[in-house]
Structure 1
Amino acid sequence: MPEEQGRGGFTPLSEFLFSYSHATQVRTIRQDMNTIKPLAAAFALLVVASLIQLGCVPAREHRALDQKYEQLKVHADSLRRQNDTLSIAAREAQSLQAIQRERLDSLLADSLRSSAEIHRLQEALVNSRRDYYEMLAMEESLLDGSTREAALMLEQLQKLQKELQKREDALHEASRTLNAKRKELGRIERQQQADRRALDSMRTNIDSLSRSLASSNANVTSLTQALARKDSLSLALRAKVADALFGFRDKGLSVEMRGGRVYVSMSEKLLFSSGSYELNPEGVKALRQIIVVLEQNPEINISVEGHTDDVPMRPGGTLRDNWDLSVLRATSIARILTTGTAISGARVSAMGRSHYHPLNPAKTKAARQINRRTEIILTPKLSELVEALGGE
């Protein structure tokens, strides 16, 4: 017989390299998985932080930012789902590979035992043939002997022939079994090669996902930094406006931060007479103090909102209802802000809210006095935020 080459034709060196290659690929995939998981967690936290920060954006730009943010969130969710799917597929491939390896080891052991059995049967066949030919020689030499001895020799010869046939049949059956096991080994080896290609493809996909996730994290970081700069600017602006209007605090004027924006709220008694949209001298004086701050901060957008109480206008006047009054009061203030100043009209918007946004919904005189107000809302421009989200 030819000398065997390890189990099923594999040398010990090739088996070692084969096992080592698979182990290395599995460890690499696990490392890639461990790298993506903290990145995905960090990305989720950053997105939540960004969502909280975005509450400060005006309506039209807020919608654009929401759309960009939703795109980032959907993209991140897609990356996490693909990462989870690939992780499950990698674990299933590793489990299947371990099962196939156990089966391969079993088949290799069976192949070795079959090869040894075939070798033993071949040796027995050679011995039987030798005995057979010796018996034939003895038969020829005893042809002239007694009939009883000749019959005995013939009986022994027939037994040897039957034994020889049984061993030949066993040899053929062992050969067929060995060939079948070799075919099975070949099929398993081809399957393992396909599994290796699948694992390589998974690793490529994971690398691509890692790059996409890193890019998304960079975008979120830029957005967070832009939001932080905007909030810092808003705080500084609030301090400047509060200092400029310090003398009007006891005259129905307040300055506060809400949602990342600065709200300058002025009561009706500071700005207007009841039912009028003509500014009082004291109100003009307060607006002049605000104008100084706004001229020094051209990166601030300005919204003027007029608010009234829920008492209807007297019929027969020039104003039909509280809508007219709130709008005209807002435009009167916007006109003061932009007339003879360095404030561009493109930075200013004016709108009337009528009585639909009260600070106090009670139907008392004190509540209605609080609700009759005009608010100047100061918002840092959002160009950095839009740029961070990839906008134009």
Structure 2
Amino acid sequence: MKTVKYIGILITASTLFFSCVPLNQFRELEEANTELSDKVDNLSSEKELLEGRNEELKELADRLKKQVAELTADTLKKGREVRGCRNDLQKLRTEYEDLLTQLRNQTGAGDSEELLNYLQKLQEDLQAREDALIASERDLDAREKELQEAMAKLAAAQKELETAQAELAAQNQRLLELEQALARKDSASNALRQAIADALTGFDQSQLKVHIKNGKVYVSMEEKLLFGSGSYQVSAEGASAIRQVANVLGNKKDINIMIEGHTDPVPYSSGKLLDNWDLSVKRATSVTRILLENSAIDPSRVIAAGRGSHVPLVSNDTPEGKRKNRRTEIILTPRLDQILDILETN
């Protein structure tokens, strides 16, 4: 028997009355399903980064607001000082002009000398006040400029904060929608698993198993339930079990179905079949035909595949292991259209 690993897909128009979706489409769905958890994790990480950036921007905005408040108060104080200097300077100028007028009208030498001395002192005081006024105005201009720069920084920080908050809100909404869609998918998978398990309660539970793995529902039936040794003709009991599954799937329009045949590695050949690959494919298509007796199941959602002996559940070293590995699996994959639409939209 050839040992090259492959998936045998039997789609022969003369022998099959159903169609199969391309295998790559099933693989794409499978890959998308396995990547969704990583995408949720990535979105959660991005959300944490955005939340951290939000906090940084809030702290920056608070610091800038405090700085603006301090600069505003200081600018007001400097403004009052400048106005006070101007008032004092105006008073001194007025007093100086009055004294100068008196000096011009004075006739006594003693009085004139005393008035001149006072004028000299007043002029010096006037010059000092003018110098102080110029310094205060220069300081006020610098503070006003610093205030304007701080206000510009604050406006930029607030704008960036608003943008970050909008991004965070959008990210939260995106993550919420994705988590809700995933939760609905998981809920649907659990409901489907339970419905099929309930439908198969009348069969030997040691020969079948219904479980969820990687977001897909697996209905695994051992060879003994479905086929005779080396045969691909489904037994009456096996056909009944398959029809029970078909009844559940008939109302599930958003489920893609893959039927996989599996064998043990014991070499096999017969007049019609070459090896275990052929046997696994024929068993898969035999199950598929019975499944599609339910006309509510769209054949375009169905894939029949043979895996030979290359995907064992357990070791083939024991007869018990070989028995468990000789099985047919109906793998049900919920369609991810809604989830993928959410990812593409966002």
TM-score normalised by structure 2 residue count: 0.71
Matches within 5 A, 1:115-264: 115-127=83-95, 130-131=98-99, 134=102, 140-142=107-109, 154=113, 156=114, 159-191=117-149, 193-195=151-153, 197-198=155-156, 201-202=159-160, 204-206=162-164, 208-209=166-167, 212-213=170-171, 215-216=173-174, 217-243=176-202, 245=203, 248-249=204-205, 253-259=207-213, 260-264=216-220
Aligned equivalents of 2:244 and 2:39: distance in 1?
A: 41
Instruction: Give the aligned length.
Output: 311
1:305 paired with 2:260, answer yes
Aligned amino acid, residue 190 of structure 1? Q
Q: Could you tell me whether the CA contact under 8 Å between 2:268 and 2:275 is conserved in 1?
A: yes
Equivalent residue in structure 2 for 1:379, among 318, 332, 335: 332
Number of the residue aligned with 1:6:
none
Aligned equivalents of 1:100 and 1:269: distance in 2?
A: 81
Aligned amino acid, residue 288 of structure 1? S
Please state how far the C-alpha of 1:292 moved relative to its aligned partner.
4.0
Equivalent residue in structure 2 for 1:291, among 208, 219, 243: 243
Please state how far the C-alpha of 1:261 moved relative to its aligned partner.
1.1
Q: Could you list the runs of 5+ residues in structure 2 that have no partner in the other structure?
A: 1-25
Match of 1:305, SS?
strand
Number of the residue aligned with 1:96:
64
* Residue-by-residue CA offset, 1:213-271 (whole Å, 9 max, x unaligned): 4642234324422431332122122111223x2xx44xx62233132514232135861
Match of 1:265, SS?
strand
Task: Indicate how the Cα distance of structure 1 residues 134 and 90 shifts in structure 2: closer, same or farther if over 3 A, else same.
Answer: same
Number of the residue aligned with 2:9:
none
TM-score normalised by structure 1 residue count: 0.64
* Structure 1 range deviating more: 298-307 or 192-201: 192-201
Task: Indicate how the Cα distance of structure 1 residues 256 and 309 shifts in structure 2: closer, same or farther if over 3 A, else same.
Answer: same
Root-mean-square deviation (Å): 3.8
Q: Could you tell me whether the CA contact under 8 Å between 1:223 and 1:389 is conserved in 2?
A: no
1:358 paired with 2:312, answer yes
* Structure 1 range deviating more: 340-349 or 227-236: 340-349
Structure of larger gyration radius: 1
Aligned amino acid, residue 285 of structure 1? E
Q: Could you tell me whether the CA contact under 8 Å between 1:306 and 1:352 is conserved in 2?
A: yes
Q: Could you tell me whether the CA contact under 8 Å between 2:211 and 2:219 is conserved in 1?
A: yes
Aligned equivalents of 1:234 and 1:157: distance in 2?
A: 113
* Residue-by-residue CA offset, 1:324-372 (whole Å, 9 max, x unaligned): 332233233334444x65465445432222222223215233322332x
Number of the residue aligned with 1:369:
323
Task: Indicate how the Cα distance of structure 1 residues 132 and 308 shifts in structure 2: closer, same or farther if over 3 A, else same.
Answer: same
Task: Indicate how the Cα distance of structure 1 residues 313 and 333 shifts in structure 2: closer, same or farther if over 3 A, else same.
Answer: same
Please state how far the C-alpha of 1:163 moved relative to its aligned partner.
1.5
Task: Indicate how the Cα distance of structure 1 residues 289 and 308 shifts in structure 2: closer, same or farther if over 3 A, else same.
Answer: closer
Number of the residue aligned with 2:284:
330
Task: Indicate how the Cα distance of structure 1 residues 84 and 191 shifts in structure 2: closer, same or farther if over 3 A, else same.
Answer: same
Number of the residue aligned with 2:30:
62
Higher helix proportion, which one? 1
Aligned equivalents of 2:221 and 2:144: distance in 1?
A: 83
Aligned equivalents of 2:334 and 2:95: distance in 1?
A: 102
Aligned amino acid, residue 179 of structure 1? E
